[in-house]
Structure 1
Amino acid sequence: MRITNALVKGAANGQLVDIDIDPITGKITTITPAAGPFIAETEAEIYDAAGRLVSPQFVEAHIHLDYANTAGIPRDNESGTLFEAIEIWRERKEAGLNNPDLIRRNAIAAAKSAVEHGVGFIRTHVDVTDPELTAFRVLKDVKEEIRDWCDVELVAFPQNGIYAYQGGDRLVEQALKEGADVVGGIPHLEPTREDGVDSLKHLFDLGEKYGTRIDIHCDEIDDAQSRFVEVIAAETTKRSMQGLATVSHSAAMSYYEPGYMARLLPKLASADVTFAVCPNENLHLQGRGYSHATPRGVAPIKALTDFGLNVALCQDSISDPWYPMGNGDLLRVVDTGLHVSHMLQPKYIDNCLEFITHNPAKNLGLRGYGIMEGNPANLIVLDAHSEREVLQEGCPVLLSVHRGKRVFSRAAINTDWES
């Protein structure tokens, strides 16, 4: 396959390039200056990008595919709070509504929606606080079922806590034994602060034991005293696990006072902790207890980025008890994240795709990611000519290629104005 006349970030002087892809290995063989109109000399498939932006496939670093498309069943989240959502999910499990076939269909539908918006890699948290590990075992099968068009990582996520839920610690480990890729946790929902700290130590023990990364739902609460993020930094450093731990959500960081932040940020940087921030979802869930001057409740994306920390922007939910909207479109998430964080200066706008490409790729530890010779051909063509245009117009994906194979293509939308 050859993609001609492609605009690739980092190309010398912004010149267009031709990208050749080996159909056998699925890897990029050469990237050369565009030759102009191309006449096929072989049977290779040709796609003319016509000067449009070609990007690595987007990376969704935090989503819950097992929760997808369940909003309103058994009931709606009338308060809009995190805690009512968790209660609704408990009711759903106890009512036996999470049957394997439904989980599978909902998860695949959500994954397809994300892929149609440019995603090629997904890290999904999967609730393992279920003695049967129903959702985990279904998602493990889904991971294999969709591998030709999307790579999926499974996080063993104890939605109800490892100590707050009887046997939660055992279930996380069982999921790891059965092939979970990442250790998850939720310390702020454990019975006490001390239990939360102990849970993190136990989860790091599991990460070391099974050789996995760690991704923690951390401090997702409107409480400036919820500070498990510093425990994650400390455990990461003590165990020489720099770069292997991700802090997800961390809404409480938006409430931290400047003096504490000044002390915390260097610790996070030293531990090379990465972040998965979900601005749309936390704008919806947080600040519900305020009658006016409602806080945003979104982790400080700008402060983290400016300090050199790695921040991925993520969808989190697609129509579930936590968030009734969402369709897997990460461009919407980037738009919200930059707006809510006062990041509409050119240096952020012109590099906005980093939040859904290379940054989340680091969270996942992806190897061979990016448009370079020798890398797997995982790329998309956007109907735009700059990152600024992508953000401003919400441009559609015209072509998606995964492991060197075309996943889908669609025609550009042209509007014919009457003269």
Structure 2
Amino acid sequence: MDLIIRRAALADSRGLVDIGMEAGRIAAIEPHLAATAREEIDANGSLVTAPFVDAHFHMDATLSYGLPRVNASGTLLEGIALWGELKPDLTQEALVGRALQYCDWAVARGLLAIRSHVDVCDPRLLAVEALVEVKRRVKPYLDLQLVAFPQDGVLRSAGAFENLKRAIAMGVDVVGGIPHFERTMADGAASVKLLCEYAAEQGLRVDMHCDESDDPMSRHIETLAAETHRLGLHGRVTGSHLTSMHSMDNYYVSKLIPLMREAGVAAIANPLINITLQGRSDTYPKRRGMTRVPELMAGGITVAFGHDCVMDPWYSLGSGDMLEVAHMGLHVAQMTGVDAMRACFDAVTKNPARILGLEDYGIEVGCNADCVVLDARDPIEAIRLRAARTAVVRRGKVVSRSPAVRATLALEGRPSEVDFRIDRR
């Protein structure tokens, strides 16, 4: 075989196994695989998982923090205005360079699939051209799915719908929208209808920034679910952010979640950004900002976590670490039970893979030979430690390695080294 990972722990706790990979596929998973390979890795009981997946990101803006200035208020609206100031100065070379640098970070973090929204309100479509080129370049090692995103509103911004259609023709994969940013609630609903009808005609997926607001009356997710059902787009539509849901009354949500489930609409929360940008007008008590993740999961909705931003006009931090995203999501949603913490790990792995429609994803025979070896024994420990990715594998080839985190101590009568793990065996 090409590669065998020995003594791997899997997320389903089935016991230690050997994972054999050949010709870019997982060829065998057995407790003691009687085979040899050109390269072997001894996981020594560490967790081996399918790659991390980021279902919501803005790669056209990433690593642009401080250009042309810093977001002084830290608000969503100033970030949008700042991006508008930056757009005239964008160059394709700079966009490609920043995006490729971020993809390097992503691979090192075991993040091998990203859905990125790309602004289509600039008639030059520079960002679209740049990210289509990045998508081509990174294809051997990272799956990049692009969303045509009318940042300034598809009806509010002149020519935005035609730009969106041009972007799709250039190789963008998914139809995006931002109904709550249209001029009126009626325009928001009309934009959802327009964009969903276009996606249905073209056979495309839909992913809309939906109700990224503290206003409980921002209810475009209801329209999105209804249009999904009307047009037969079940399983192909996602509502991202959905932060207004954290302020809605329980009775309305009790109707909304079953409507979303009936339509097969998925949900993406962005914990790092939602907790940062929402609730800005509150004094105290201050709202958390993130949508109702546990309730959506309990209602049968596929829920994923996204990173959303890394060092851009909206967020000055971040490094492409989806375990950091899961860690924040776990805390904001108060999901500290054992099953809930494991569900947060699923929200950065198999759930977003389902939303993106990734084929042959997972640790099963026949799946793509893509995986991450983590310096942790199980998903909960991986989140707690934001565990080092000691090896990242793409199609059976190791594409990144990192050292395990160890600290050397000089304390009389105490161990010489600590790894921050508790051995309960």
Q: TM-score interval w.r.t. the shorter chain?
A: over 0.9
Q: Distance in 2 between matches of 1:352 and 1:75?
A: 35
Q: Where do residues 319-334 of structure 1 align in structure 2 (5 Å cutoff)?
A: 319-334=311-326
Partner of 1:32: 30
* Alignment check: 8 A CA contact 2:179 2:188 kept: yes
Partner of 1:228: 220
The answer to whether residue 306 in structure 2 is matched with residue 314 in structure 1 is yes
With structure 2 as the length reference, what TM-score do the two structures score? 0.94
Give the aligned residue type for 1:296.
R
The answer to whether residue 139 in structure 2 is matched with residue 137 in structure 1 is no
Q: CA deviation at 1:295?
A: 1.0
The answer to whether residue 71 in structure 2 is matched with residue 77 in structure 1 is yes
Q: CA deviation at 1:410?
A: 2.2
- How big is each residue's C-alpha offset from its partner over 1:226-259, in whole Å with a ceiling of 9 and x where there is no partner? 0000001101111111110000001101011011
Q: Distance in 2 between matches of 1:297 and 1:388?
A: 24
Change (3 A) 1:351 1:263: closer
- How big is each residue's C-alpha offset from its partner over 1:330-358, in whole Å with a ceiling of 9 and x where there is no partner? 11111111111111011112343101111
* Alignment check: 8 A CA contact 2:4 2:36 kept: no
How many residues are aligned here? 409
Q: Distance in 1 between matches of 2:331 and 2:181?
A: 29
> SS at 2:267's partner residue?
strand
Q: CA deviation at 1:411?
A: 2.5
1:66 aligned residue (60, 65, 74):
60
Give the aligned residue type for 1:74.
P
Give the aligned residue type for 1:3.
I
Change (3 A) 1:41 1:342: closer
Q: CA deviation at 1:10?
A: 2.8
Partner of 1:185: 177
* Alignment check: 8 A CA contact 1:349 1:388 kept: yes
Give the aligned residue type for 2:112.
G
Q: Distance in 2 between matches of 1:376 and 1:270?
A: 31
Gapped regions of structure 2 (runs ≥ 5): 413-425
Q: CA deviation at 1:117?
A: 1.4
Q: Distance in 2 between matches of 1:41 and 1:130?
A: 54
Q: Distance in 2 between matches of 1:280 and 1:390?
A: 18
Q: Where do residues 203-282 of structure 1 align in structure 2 (5 Å cutoff)?
A: 203-282=195-274
Partner of 1:402: 394
Partner of 1:88: 82
Q: CA deviation at 1:184?
A: 0.4
- How big is each residue's C-alpha offset from its partner over 1:305-338, in whole Å with a ceiling of 9 and x where there is no partner? 1212111011000111111111111111111111
Q: Percent identity?
A: 38
1:123 aligned residue (102, 111, 115):
115
Question: Which deviates the most, 53-62 or 409-418?
Answer: 409-418
> SS at 2:366's partner residue?
coil
Q: Where do residues 281-360 of structure 1 align in structure 2 (5 Å cutoff)?
A: 281-360=273-352
- How big is each residue's C-alpha offset from its partner over 1:235-294, in whole Å with a ceiling of 9 and x where there is no partner? 111111111000000110101101101111110110111111101101111111122211
> SS at 1:71's partner residue?
coil
* Alignment check: 8 A CA contact 1:49 1:381 kept: yes
> SS at 1:350's partner residue?
helix
* Alignment check: 8 A CA contact 2:11 2:379 kept: no
> SS at 1:266's partner residue?
helix
Q: CA deviation at 1:405?
A: 1.9
> SS at 1:79's partner residue?
coil
With structure 1 as the length reference, what TM-score do the two structures score? 0.95
Partner of 1:392: 384
Partner of 2:358: 366
> SS at 2:286's partner residue?
coil
* Alignment check: 8 A CA contact 1:3 1:47 kept: yes
The answer to whether residue 154 in structure 2 is matched with residue 162 in structure 1 is yes
Q: CA deviation at 1:386?
A: 1.1
> SS at 1:8's partner residue?
coil
Q: Distance in 2 between matches of 1:15 and 1:331?
A: 23
Q: CA deviation at 1:147?
A: 1.2
Q: CA deviation at 1:108?
A: 1.1
Partner of 1:18: 18
* Alignment check: 8 A CA contact 1:18 1:34 kept: yes
Q: Distance in 1 between matches of 2:120 and 2:393?
A: 32
- How big is each residue's C-alpha offset from its partner over 1:123-158, in whole Å with a ceiling of 9 and x where there is no partner? 000011111100011100101111121110010011
Give the aligned residue type for 2:155.
Y
- How big is each residue's C-alpha offset from its partner over 1:200-244, in whole Å with a ceiling of 9 and x where there is no partner? 111112211221100000000110100000001101111111110
